[in-house]
């Protein structure tokens, strides 16, 4: 089976050509097989996504407006790794709570994948969450999250979300929500989480 191979090229120069609210754009010059190459790419903090599965084999999805594509997209709960020092599993638990009000009694890692490796260094980790319990939260949501919906979908039927029999395969799919929602204001959830986030987006 093919296996990806990490490489550590010699970096000759690095500069930030754009500094944004959530992520930056870097320009790097590096040596590749004797050639001096220059590439620009988005420097992404990384993200996590949660496949929340209940006892009825249903998947919990959220619908959120995504401005870059001018669409409401159905996504698995997900978010950025933008809390300093936070581990990926802890981030996944936090995002599931913030976006759905659910906690999970069982967690397992499904996969890591690179979303757009030609121009973005994002790595998103997907976790499976089971034994779910709705406990709610006291977060104040703003921006695109004010009208965010959540709904359970049968796992068996979600193959259509990957373009199987879908007349518009690039539109009606699951997405991970590892992007930004700049308006979210964090509240301290409870003593069991033990954090107060200072981040500006999720």
d(CA 118, CA 153): 32
The three-class DSSP label of residue 109 is strand
User: Helices marked H in 126-174 — which ranges?
Assistant: none
d(CA 6, CA 64): 34
Sheet containing 10-19: order of strands: 10-19, 24-32, 35-43
The answer to whether 145 is a known catalytic residue is yes
- Both structure tokens of 90: 């802890």
Are 40 and 118 contacting, i.e. CB atoms less than 8 angstroms apart?
no
Provide Rg for the chain, Cα atoms: 18
Q: Which of 142, 144, 145, 168 is catalytic?
A: 145
- Both structure tokens of 118: 């030609």
- Which residues are designated catalytic? 145
């Amino acid at each position: 089976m093919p296996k990806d191979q990490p490489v550590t090229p010699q970096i000759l120069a690095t500069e930030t050509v754009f500094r944004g609210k959530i992520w930056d754009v870097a320009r790097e010059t590096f040596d590749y097989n004797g050639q001096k190459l220059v590439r620009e790419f988005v420097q992404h903090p990384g993200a996590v996504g949660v496949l929340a599965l209940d006892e009825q084999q249903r998947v919990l999805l959220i619908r959120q407006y995504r401005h870059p594509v001018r669409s409401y997209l159905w996504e698995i709960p997900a978010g950025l790794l933008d809390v300093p020092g936070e581990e990926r599993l802890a981030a996944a638990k936090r995002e599931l709570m913030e976006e759905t009000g659910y906690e999970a009694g069982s967690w397992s890692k499904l996969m890591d994948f690179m979303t757009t490796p030609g121009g973005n260094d994002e790595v998103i980790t997907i976790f499976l969450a089971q034994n779910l319990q709705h406990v709610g939260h006291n977060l104040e949501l703003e921006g695109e999250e004010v009208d965010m919906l959540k709904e359970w979908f049968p796992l068996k039927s979600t193959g259509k979300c990957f373009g199987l029999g879908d007349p518009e395969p690039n539109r009606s799919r699951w997405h991970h929500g590892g992007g930004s929602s700049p308006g979210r204001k964090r509240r301290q959830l409870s003593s069991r989480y033990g954090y107060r986030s200072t981040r500006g987006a999720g």
